[in-house]
Amino acid sequence: MPLPKAELHLHIEGTLEPELAFALAARNGITLPYADTEALRKAYLFDDLQSFLDLYYGLMAVLLTEEDFEELADAYLARAAQQGVRHAEIFFDPQAHMVRGVGIGTVIEGLGRALERSEERHGISTRLIMCFLRDQSAESALETLEAARPHLHRIVGVGLDSAEVGHPPAKFREVYEAAAALGLRRVAHAGEEGPPAYITEALDVLGVERIDHGLRCMEDPELVERLVRERTPLTLCPLSNVRLRAIDVLEEHPLARMMDAGLLCTVNSDDPAYFGGYVDDTFHAVREALGLDQERLRELARNSFEASFLDGSPEDEAL
Ligand code: ES4
Ligand code: ZN
């Protein structure tokens, strides 16, 4: 039995398995530039974050209708339930769809349809986090937040993802202020490929309450001390770090050292269709590669609930 856990760093577009991509392509009359699912899987050899993002954005071409987004999310939730996930905070990238002429309402309402049935169908409570693409302009992020206004009842917070280096958090100060004024929670990817200073900036300028990845905090002992003191959660994604070559091999992942340092670490799957495993597969992989014992794994599972946006109400405690 997998440990009950929350998944807090999961891009719904990154759960698009090759089989579903081809099925949606056929339904929508789209020709993919791969002969079959096997040929597509063979393309999943990445040098860095950008080489992954190119494929990830390209394959989204198959996602067009509300039903497509509903099916995508429902397929993830079904797999997540098998992995012991009881609560999922799910990222989506509206700008990556809007540039293709897919309305933000189609995306949010489609995902929303799957999410509103999730507790009943899969035993998983959910939250939706809207991410801004940091390699797009700050104006585009503001327009996206504005476009999302009619759908905000479905969204718990905002995040920041895509190509990190050269796009520091401060670029998005204004849109994060606007999001905070609307009562939205705030997270951001930082310290995945970017320097530790981006983590500090995300905390101080954007007011985020969690750091997505945060891997590179380990280069700055004062920052580590602060993250420990403030109990800032980090949503680590070890399999992603290996596939995108942030580290060479899983055995070199700093997760165990980060836990020893007192950091509030969680383990997540990021883009599981691309990185070779869902969240419990990731728990198994770090257990094997880093020699984490059962107590350490239980700590990670506990951390995932503590770091979540569940409010600890009696209803939530029933999880
Ligand atoms: C992402 Cl691994 C990762 N990093 C940044 N942005 C992303 N979007 C989807 N996966
Ligand atoms: Zn991510």
In a domain, 318, yes or no: no
pLDDT in tens, 301-310: 999 999 999 9
What are the pLDDT digits (tens) for 48-60?
999 999 999 999 9
The CATH number of whichever domain residue 115 belongs to comes to 3.20.20.140
Mean pLDDT of the chain: 97
The tally of domains found in the chain comes to 1
Examine residue 282 and state whether it is found in any structural domain, yes or no: yes
CA separation for the pair 56, 37 (Å, rounded): 15
pLDDT at position 169 over 60 = yes
ipTM: 0.98
Domain range enclosing 294: 5-306
Residue nearest to atom 6 of ligand 1 (CA): 162
Instruction: Enter the pTM of the model.
Output: 0.98
Residue 318 above 50 pLDDT?
Answer: no
* pLDDT reading at 316 higher than 70: no
- Mean pLDDT over 24-46 rounds to 98
**At 170, is the secondary structure helix, strand, or coil?**
helix
The yes-or-no verdict on residue 163 having pLDDT over 70 is: yes
pLDDT digits (tens, 9 = 90+) for 204-262: 999 999 999 999 999 999 999 999 999 999 999 999 999 999 999 999 999 999 999 99
Crossing angle between the packed helical segments 279-290 and 294-306, to the nearest 10 degrees = 140
Going 240 to 246 to 252 to 258, the CA torsion angle's sign is negative
- The answer to whether position 82 is within a domain reads yes
Three-state secondary structure call for residue 161 = strand
Task: From 44, 162, 172, give the residue whose CB has the most ligand 1 atoms within 8 Å, as the site to mutate.
Answer: 162
Question: Is the CB of 161 inside a 6 Å radius of any atom of ligand 1?
Answer: yes
Residue 311: the pLDDT is 86
DSSP 83-113: TTEEEEEEEE-HHHHHTTT--HHHHHHHHHH
CA distance 111 to 14: 14
Transcribe 212-270 into DSSP letters: EE-GGGGG-HHHHHHHHHTT-EEEE-HHHHHHTTSSS-GGG-THHHHHHTT-EEEE--B
Q: Tens digit of pLDDT for each residue in 258-300? A: 999 999 999 999 999 999 999 999 999 999 999 999 999 999 9
pLDDT at 137 over 80: yes
State whether the beta carbon of 308 lies less than 6 angstroms from ligand 1.
no
Whether residue 192 lies in the annotated active site: yes
Q: Active-site residue among 13, 17, 71, 192?
A: 192
SS3 content of the chain, % helix, strand, coil (to 5): 55, 15, 30
- Residue 193 placed within a domain: yes
Q: pLDDT at position 313, please? A: 59
Whether 316 is covered by a domain: the verdict is: no
Kindly state whether residue 311 falls inside one of the protein's structural domains. Answer: no
pLDDT at 317 over 90: no
Is residue 268 within 8 A of residue 235, CB to CB? The reply is: yes
* Chain segment 116-128, per-residue pLDDT in tens: 999 999 999 999 9
Kindly give the distance from the C-alpha atom of residue 1 to the centroid of ligand 2, in angstroms, as a whole number: 27
11 annotated ligand binder: yes
Cβ–Cβ under 8 Å, residues 274 and 11:
no
What integer pLDDT is reported at residue 242 of this predicted model? Answer: 98
Which region holds residue 93: left if phi is over 0, alpha if psi is between -120 and 50, else beta? beta
